Amino acid sequence: MSFMSVTALRGPSDHHWRQKMNRKRIYVAASIVLLSLIAALGAAAQMKQPEMTFFVSSVGSGKGADFGGLEGADRHCQDLAAAAGAGKRTWRAYLSATPAGGKPGVNARERIGKGPWHNAEGRLIARNVEELHGVNNINRMTALTEKKTTVNGRADSPNMHDILTGSQPDGTAFAKSGDTTCSNWTSGDKGSAVVGHRDRWGLSDTAAAVSWNSSHGSKGCSQPALVSTGGAGLIYCFAEK
Tell me: the pLDDT tens digits for 64-117? 999 999 999 999 999 999 999 999 999 999 999 999 988 899 999 999 999 999
Let me know whether 40 and 92 are in one domain.
no
| CATH number of the domain that residue 119 is part of | 3.10.100.10
Helix or strand or coil: residue 56? strand
17, 60, 145 from 5: Cα distances, Å: 19, 94, 83
Let me know whether 10 and 102 are in one domain.
no
Let me know whether 66 and 8 are in one domain.
no
- The β-bridge partners of 193 are 181
Let me know whether 125 and 113 are in one domain.
yes
Average pLDDT value for the chain: 88
Let me know whether 141 and 224 are in one domain.
yes
Q: Which domain holds residue 38?
A: 1-47
Q: Are strands 117-118 and 124-126 parallel, antiparallel or unpaired?
A: antiparallel
Let me know whether 103 and 56 are in one domain.
yes
Query: Residue 236's closest CA among 173, 179, 167?
Result: 167
Q: Distance between CA 221 and CA 212 in Å, rounded?
A: 19
Let me know whether 203 and 89 are in one domain.
yes
Let me know whether 69 and 168 are in one domain.
yes
91, 137, 169 from 132: Cα distances, Å: 17, 8, 10
Q: Which range has the worst mean pLDDT, 14-18, 203-207, 217-221, 223-227?
A: 14-18
Phi, then psi, of 54 in degrees rounded to 5: -155, 140
Q: Which range has the worst mean pLDDT, 9-13, 165-169, 222-226?
A: 9-13
